[in-house]
Structure 1
Amino acid sequence: MQTPEKTIPAAPEYESGAAYIDGAFMPVIQAAIPVLHGGYRRSDVTYDVVGVWDGNFFRLDDHIARFRASIRALHMEPAESDAEIIEILHRLVALAGLRSAYVSMECLRGAPKPGLPRHPANCRSYLSCHAIPWQSVATHEMFERGMHLMISSVLRIPPESFDPTVKNFHWGDLTRSMFEAKAAGADYSVLLDSDGNITEGPGFNVFCIRDSVVVCPARGALKGITQKSVLELCDELGLKSEVRDITAEEFRNADEIFTCTTAGGVMPASRIDGRRLNNDRPGPISTRLKDLFWSKRTEGWHASPVRYELAAKVASCPDPS
């Protein structure tokens, strides 16, 4: 999978990427969050990530809708409307001159005004966004040989504690599981819930395939935009798909396994807990879904062309504080 090159020369200060914080555009290397803000001190943030490939955003409206739902769930009220957020994201990609980009939008809480209790209700929420060159969860080697996964002993934070459909920075469980995977020689971890069912991995949804039926977990995970796309592709290919609980045993004994995320698309696996699937290679159905995903992306599936003309329109606004 070859990454498209830059489309237009960016100003030198924007070569590493572009950022927007609380009304101001800036080079990404200058972007910073005040250390007293709740977004830093409490991980009081929700976010979403949308991909740009070959000059097109993928499912931008779906990402904006999910982002807004998460904002509302956390009782946040940024100043920008959905239409304004969309324009900001277009402008960031244009400023950086990128044909392919990893574009993040975050809403975070600041600090209370002097004299007010440190309660989130007393903290203003604001927007932070950035666009940087494309990043993938899976390396080229992982795509070629298939990802090596393991089921972690670390349990996913339960939905009763925090709703996993609200995208968040509460990565303590995911981070711990990644070190466990590294120690075991795996690429990535997959976490279970307290009932022993599969949830998700660090930054990606998971699927397994049994008897040509494509299955993903019903609960305990983010409702992924790429996951939604995979289910659409299954319908297009005439593959039966199910959204239901998956036990650890069923997952380990699957015919095929793959993961999916904005930062990588469909990523087939070839090992789970040391067990080799498909002669230690990506499976045929997983590969078919991966190839169709990228071919349709190339054809303009769910595409919103980047408005590169916005690079010339940059407002100078005050520093967030």
Structure 2
Amino acid sequence: MTRTVYVNGDYLPEGEAKVSIFDRGFLMADGVYEVTSVLDGKLIDFDGHVKRLWRSLAELEMTCPVGEADLLAMHRELVARNGIEQGMIYLQVTRGNPGDRSFLFPAADLPGTIVAFTQDIPNMADAPAAKTGLKVITIPDLRWSRVDIKTVQLLYPSMGKMAAKKAGVDDSWFTDEAGAVTEGTSNNAWIVKGNRIITRALGNDILHGITRAAVLRFAREAQFEVEERAFTPEEAHGADEAFSTAASLFVMPVVEVDGKPVGTGKPGPVATRLREIYLDEMRKAAI
């Protein structure tokens, strides 16, 4: 089946979708994006993703070509047209096509470019990795200092994914100059010690994860202690559990860091329970 995608107000077969070579998203990585999960044909935490989109756009002095109601309608239309039961919708907004290449921002009234497409992932909620856990390595965090803006400049995270692949593991966790973990290549990083769950505090150095925010809320409601602070790979080695969170992962156990097992080296009860709670609560609230 040919996938239907969205480009600037039109629904098109993916083979017919085109964006100008002068689009600043292509030339300058001058754009932002969001990824919204789909479960049972419904959108997960859509409101949170839209709020973060508005924040990212505002930080770059950009506007979205369409409003929230139209974004919701578009997401639902893509789900329906592509028959998505489980998967994701990728949305990208760029500053648009000024007609030539320039480092300066074009006029504020230039129409932006907006594109979106689906990714069908039938086993997303029942991913085998949730039962075996992920293995990660740590590498220096060499990204720009405004990681809190969800921009499309993802070259270094891609390099981090490739470094993990070459090392025979699943992902990389980034570390700052002090040696503390910032986050994963496309996810937030966590450790568990006893009844205490630890994840780095919000700042310009990590993405303000929508899944992260939900998991923090559910963890507190489940009477876990929550500590938002930096932690080191050495702390992860001595932790009872570790896990990553993202729209594409939900809550995913991490069982090894830099070749050393975390806890028993198998998914632990806290990450497993938080994944169950997250999926249950998100399904209830899906739209």
Distance in 2, Cα, partners of 1:270 & 1:73:
36
Change (3 A) 1:33 1:135: farther
In structure 2, give the amino acid aligned to 1:128.
Answer: V
Report deviation, 1:167. Answer: 0.6
Q: Is the 8 A contact 1:138 1:267 kept in 2?
A: no
In structure 2, give the amino acid aligned to 1:272.
Answer: V
Report deviation, 1:145. Answer: 1.3
Q: Could you give the per-residue CA deviations for residues 91-138 of structure 1, whole angstroms, max 9, x where no partner exists?
A: 111111222231111111233246x95522345422111223138899
Work out which of the residue numbers 251, 269, 284 in structure 1 matches 2:236: 251
Counterparts of 1:83-162 in structure 2 under 5 Å?
83-113=69-99, 119-122=104-107, 124-134=111-121, 140-152=127-139, 154-159=140-145
Distance in 2, Cα, partners of 1:209 & 1:288:
12
Change (3 A) 1:136 1:149: farther
Q: Is the 8 A contact 2:97 2:113 kept in 1?
A: no
TM-score, scaled relative to structure 1 = 0.81
SS at match of 1:235: helix
Q: Is the 8 A contact 2:240 2:264 kept in 1?
A: no
Which consecutive unaligned segments of at least 5 residues does structure 1 have? 1-14, 305-321
In structure 2, give the amino acid aligned to 1:216.
Answer: T
Work out which of the residue numbers 195, 200, 214 in structure 1 matches 2:197: 214
Distance in 2, Cα, partners of 1:113 & 1:271:
49
Change (3 A) 1:275 1:178: same
Work out which of the residue numbers 194, 198, 212 in structure 2 matches 1:227: 212
Larger Rg: 1
Pairwise CA RMSD: 2.2
Work out which of the residue numbers 9, 22, 25 in structure 1 matches 2:11: 25
TM-score, scaled relative to structure 2 = 0.90
Q: Could you give the per-residue CA deviations for residues 28-58 of structure 1, whole angstroms, max 9, x where no partner exists?
A: 3432322221111111110011111012211
Q: Could you give the per-residue CA deviations for residues 46-79 of structure 1, whole angstroms, max 9, x where no partner exists?
A: 0011111012211111111111111111111232
SS at match of 1:176: helix
In structure 1, the residue matched to 2:256 is 271
Aligned residues: 283
After the TM superposition, which segments of 4 or more aligned residues of structure 1 sit over 3 Å from their partners?
Answer: 135-141
Instruction: Pick which of 120-129 and 201-210 moved more.
Output: 120-129
Instruction: Pick which of 175-184 and 204-213 moved more.
Output: 175-184
Report deviation, 1:203. Answer: 1.2
User: Is 1:58 aligned to 2:41, yes or no?
Assistant: no
Q: Is the 8 A contact 1:112 1:119 kept in 2?
A: no
Change (3 A) 1:104 1:117: closer
Q: Is the 8 A contact 2:199 2:229 kept in 1?
A: yes
Q: Is the 8 A contact 1:18 1:93 kept in 2?
A: no
Instruction: Pick which of 34-43 and 266-275 moved more.
Output: 34-43
Q: Which has the higher contact order (CA 8 A, sep 6+)?
A: 1
Which consecutive unaligned segments of at least 5 residues does structure 2 have? none
User: Is 1:82 aligned to 2:65, yes or no?
Assistant: no
In structure 2, the residue matched to 1:185 is 168
Distance in 2, Cα, partners of 1:193 & 1:82:
36
Q: Is the 8 A contact 2:87 2:124 kept in 1?
A: no
Q: Is the 8 A contact 2:97 2:112 kept in 1?
A: no
Instruction: Pick which of 169-178 and 257-266 moved more.
Output: 169-178
Work out which of the residue numbers 281, 290, 314 in structure 1 matches 2:275: 290
Change (3 A) 1:77 1:134: same
Distance in 2, Cα, partners of 1:50 & 1:124:
24
Distance in 1, Cα, partners of 2:81 & 2:212:
30
Distance in 2, Cα, partners of 1:189 & 1:136:
23
Report deviation, 1:139. Answer: 9.1
Change (3 A) 1:118 1:183: closer
Change (3 A) 1:107 1:136: farther
Distance in 2, Cα, partners of 1:172 & 1:86:
29
Instruction: Pick which of 193-202 and 123-132 moved more.
Output: 123-132
